[in-house]
Amino acid sequence: MKLNIFEHRMNIGQDGRFFNLPDTLFPSLGRAAAIAELLEVACESGSINSFDPDSLQRASQAIRLEIRDAESLIDAYLEETRSSAQVETLAAMVQIGEEDDYKLAELAEANAEGQFVINVTNWANYSLDACGNRYRYTDKATQEILLQFVADSDDEAEEICMDFLRRRGMQAKKKKPD
Amino acid sequence: MQHKTNTATLKPDFKHRLSVLGDEPSPRCVADAVNNAANQASSLIIMIQGQFMGPECSDCKLSDEIIYNCLESVYHLVLDMKAIVNAYHNAVQEDSK
């Protein structure tokens, strides 16, 4: 079964991302604390023997699972935070890499697996420039360098670009001949 | 044309909410997962009910916030059951295609 069926347990924005650390964790921890307090007061106000042992066990289980939720959420939150920071760093590396940009872009490409998201609707929005066997794949609108690599031919370069997009789950159309 | 920087997908692992018998879409696992959630929910409701009966005692009364959070927990358990049953139903339908 898909494990994202428990989306209702995630406190996230409409764009599907977390807000901040307190908003991510406090709901689960608050529920765990409330159940613990309920148990505490129930045991204080009556005899512990007046409860069905099963009720106590299940309530304790509910607390444990709420805490596990919080643990999973903080793991996912940290992962998201780390990924975002990494992408920003890598994008900056590609942009500033004027002198030794090939090496920087290669590093970015190696580390940014699955991180770049580009809404590709038209191949013509990009330019693929060559200098010798080095190619540069640039966003025409922002002049941002998205990928630099070595290829033996223009066709191979186009394939590399399309593969770059495909591996990121994006649509890529082959360039139409001018 | 955008180059987004916040692209990470959220994947919290809520596997602990499924059955300890496994996460495959089998009647045994689904029954166990739903039973667990239902037992937790009913235990919480029994204890919440205790707040509204018996002698009035201000020391024993929990705040609205605590009661709210407890009810929220029960609500989430009901949503869990619904989600598990729906996921099982979808998985069985996909298998039968």
pLDDT tens digits along A41-81:
887 776 666 677 788 889 999 999 999 999 999 888 888 77
Q: How many residues does chain B have?
A: 97
Q: Is the pLDDT of residue A128 over 50?
A: yes
Rounded Cα–Cα distance for residues A84 and A5 (Å): 24
Record the tokens describing residue A25, joined without a space.
């964790």
Q: What's the predicted TM-score (pTM) here?
A: 0.61
Q: Which residue of B has its CA nearest to A90?
A: B5
Q: Which residues pair with A120 in a beta bridge?
A: none
Question: Could you report the per-residue pLDDT of B65-83, keeping only the tens digit for each?
Answer: 999 999 999 999 999 999 9
Interface contact B51-A84, CB threshold 8 A: no
Using an 8 Å CB-CB cutoff, list chain B residues near A117: 2-4, 7
Interface contact B62-A37, CB threshold 8 A: yes
Q: What is the ipTM of this complex?
A: 0.79
Rounded Cα–Cα distance for residues A47 and A132 (Å): 85
**Distance (Å) from the C-alpha of residue A132 to the closest C-alpha of chain B?**
27
Rounded Cα–Cα distance for residues B10 and A73 (Å): 9
3-state SS string for chain B: CCEECCCCCCCCCCHHHCCCCCCCCCHHHHHHHHHHHHHHHHHHHHHHHHCCCCCCCCCCCCCHHHHHHHHHHHHHHHHHHHHHHHHHHHHHHHHHC
Nearest to A2 among B42, B68, B87 (CB): B87
Nearest to B70 among A34, A91, A117 (CB): A34
Would you state the pLDDT for residue A118?
34
Please name the residues in contact with B84: beta carbons below 8 A apart, sequence gap of 6 or more: A1, A5, B18, B30, B33, B34, B37
Nearest to B14 among A44, A52, A69 (CB): A69
Q: Does B51 contact chain A (CB < 8 Å)?
A: yes
